[in-house]
Structure 1
Amino acid sequence: MLALFYFSVLLGVGATALLDLWALLLKALFKLPTPPWHLVGRWFAGLPSGQFVHRAGIGNSPEVPGELAIGWAMHYVVGIIFAAALLLVWGVGWVFLPSFVPALIVGLVTVGAGWFILQPGMGVGVACSRAPNPNLARGLNIVGHVVFAIGLYGTALLIG
């Protein structure tokens, strides 16, 4: 159990850090905005009080103290949870003999967490249906989760 926790943290942090570098690259090359981690933090901060959906959009909800730090922390916690899911399905031994397909499966399946939980909860609809450019947002979601998968695989290669 300790190995599961240890490797989930390493894999999750490594993969999430690669995703963050990818976001910075997209900003530098294409002037795309980085993810609004303060708004993600605002959403997570509302969960304990039962605020699951911000129908008018999370940007119209009141600011929460520490929302940026909460958003960043939860971004990494979720990455660790996704890494744990990989290890629970394929076993901790995957770290020592990684293959890309399991990481890719986890990366693609976890797109659903954003599309069906986070984005509707933040008021942008299922799969960003109410975003200014839904297809661009969906494409970036998919590519981002593939980058996360590359991060899972690459981190396993480095630590295994």
Structure 2
Amino acid sequence: MFDLIWRSIVIGIGATVLMDLWAILLHKIFGQNLPNWAPVGRWFWHLQEGRVFHDDIGQAKPYEHELALGWIAHYAVGILYGIILVIVAGPSWLAYPTFLPAWLVGIVTIGAGWFLLQPGLGLGWAASKTPNPNKVRLFNFLAHTVFAIGLWGTALIIR
């Protein structure tokens, strides 16, 4: 049991690291803005008050350690998705990891961003209140595909 848990955690961390490296690559090559995890940290902080959705998270009361909390939340969610993958795919997947289950989990997790986090931050459902929602959605799809590659690749490395 402990073996399944630690592998799930490592898989989630590996996938999140790859997603972060992807963001750095997009920044270096195309000038894409790096993710700012401070608003996410502020959003997580306000969850304790029962506030899930904000018109504009920037107008919510700041939290002194929101950037750190945002990074912690980013990795905690990545770990959670690694655990979910192992639960859904089953322990045998760890012995013979295939891409399809990892990709399906990666794609399904876009829904958490589109229907929970983005409206929670005040960006609308599936980034509908952003200047270019379809661009955001495309980059969400690409980032979560890279995350899925990270899930699968990390599983291959540690099997």
Which category of TM-score, normalised to the shorter sequence, fits these structures? over 0.9
Match of 2:150 in 1: 151
Deviations 1:45-67 (A, max 9, x none): 11011121111x11222221110
Percent identity of equivalent pairs: 50
Q: What is the TM-score of this pair, normalised by structure 1?
A: 0.96
SS in 2 for 1:49: coil
> 1:30 offset after TM fit, Å?
0.9
Match of 1:131 in 2: 130
- Provide the alpha-carbon RMSD of the alignment: 0.9
Consecutive unaligned residues of structure 2, counting only runs of 5 or more, are none
After TM superposition, the structure 1 stretch with the greater mean CA deviation from structure 2, 88-97 or 101-110, is 88-97
Match of 1:72 in 2: 71
> 1:94 offset after TM fit, Å?
1.2
> 1:36 offset after TM fit, Å?
1.5
* In structure 1, distance between residues paired with 2:135 and 2:19: 17
Q: How does 1:26-37 map to 2 (within 5 A)?
A: 26-37=26-37
Q: Does the Cα contact within 8 Å between 1:7 and 1:92 map onto a contact in 2?
A: no
Q: What is the TM-score of this pair, normalised by structure 2?
A: 0.97
Consecutive unaligned residues of structure 1, counting only runs of 5 or more, are none
> 1:3 offset after TM fit, Å?
2.5
Instruction: Tell me if 1:61 matches 2:56.
Output: no
* In structure 2, distance between residues paired with 1:144 and 1:127: 15
> 1:90 offset after TM fit, Å?
1.0
